[in-house]
Amino acid sequence: MRQTQNKAALFPFTFRDFFIFIGIFACAVELCILLRMADSSDGFASPVFVLAVLLISRFTNGYLFGTLAAILGVIGVNYIFTYPYWAFDFTLAGYPLTFLTMFGVSIITCTMTTKIKQQERLRVEGEKEKMRANLLRSVSHDIRTPLTSIVGATSALLETEGLSEEEQRALLEEARDEAQWLIRVMENLLSITRMGDAQTQLAKVPEAAEEILGEAARKFRKRFPEIQVAVSAPDELLLVPMDAILIEQVLSNLLENAAIHGQTVTQIQLSVQREQAYARFAAQDNGCGIPPKELPRLFDGTLKHGETPSGDGKRNMGIGLSVCMAIVRAHGGTMEAKNLSRGAEFSFRLPLSEKESPSL
């Protein structure tokens, strides 16, 4: 059973690869025919078919069509493009060495091209696993501090007698705030799991960008009523293909990040506007800005807790921003951050056309 699976992985057949093979090989034959009409020599066919093998190996998966192109190329050179034409002749001087060399070059080219693609695939998968491990490592630290606070607050309520109503309320509010933070962390964890599932397809439908901004702002105001949030959008209805839940999570992460790490933030401006074939979402705050040394690493999840301004475990902004970046990239978009004259701006762009956006 395992041998059958290995063969299927090495020699996969898809109609997409089949049509690519037919197209490139037919072009090689046609090119050789045109060259044969223009020149009476026979030496041009071998390099043309070797090039065809290289292209077929590059644009198809596995060894099947590359190997088939190599075999058919050797046969085609002998049968069609070597004198006597349209006939096999294995008695030509130097034929065995010439055509064994061509076949060997073709097979080696096919093998090397396929292995390069496999290595690139493994590299990409390795980067995904590394990113996921970094994110999960960060989450493990993020969870520890709020859990400790919740246990401490509830233990104080249960074990301490004579607490005033104000003290009890303060402990309950602390436990509630920490529980809300844990909910946000778990939402990010679920997104990490979803983005790492190779079989997951984003359920993108056209959504009104202004409504997504408004919903994210409404939820944010409940948690941070002391911070003013303004929403601006173009007069025209801007429909953007997206997974609304994930994009709303991106906006919520950006708002929460500004409130926690901006330190002096009192106002946040959420906006969306059309930029050619993209919709540009932005969150601008009037806080203390982003430390310049952190800008290159904001979105890769490698910021350590001690490097953030507050230094506590629950204040790590790397986890939320790296999740934001993963979601935006899965939509075919880009994301960036910069400091303003006062405060900072986080922005991302999403394609307005489904054709612009690759599937996950």
Backbone region of residue 14 per phi and psi (left: phi > 0; alpha: psi in -120 to 50; beta: other values): beta
Would you say 50 and 106 are in contact if contact means Cβ atoms under 8 Å apart?
Answer: yes
> Which residues does residue 273 pair with via DSSP β-bridges, in sequence order?
280
Distance CA 243, CA 161 (A): 50
Q: Are 251 and 216 in contact (CB under 8 A)?
A: yes
Question: Count of alpha carbons within 13 Å of 117, Cβ hemisphere only?
Answer: 16
Q: Each residue of 189-242: pLDDT tens digit?
A: 676 666 555 445 667 889 999 999 998 998 888 888 899 999 999 988 899 999
Spatial separation of the C-alpha atoms in residues 238 and 348, rounded to whole Å: 15
Q: What is the pLDDT of residues 159-186, one digit of tens each?
A: 888 888 888 888 898 888 788 777 776 7
Contact 185, 139 (CB under 8 A): yes
* pLDDT value of residue 163: 84
Positive/negative CA dihedral, 85, 90, 95, 98: positive
The whole-angstrom separation of Cα 160 and Cα 59 is 70
**Regions in the chain scoring below 50 on pLDDT:** 1-2, 5, 7, 198-199, 305-306, 308-317, 356-360
State the pLDDT at residue 306: 47
Do residues 270 and 247 touch, judged by C-beta distance below 8 A?
Answer: no
pLDDT, position 217: 92
Tokens representing 165? 């109503």
Residue with tokens 């800008």: 295
Closest to 301 in 3D by CA, of 200, 223, 191, 202: 191
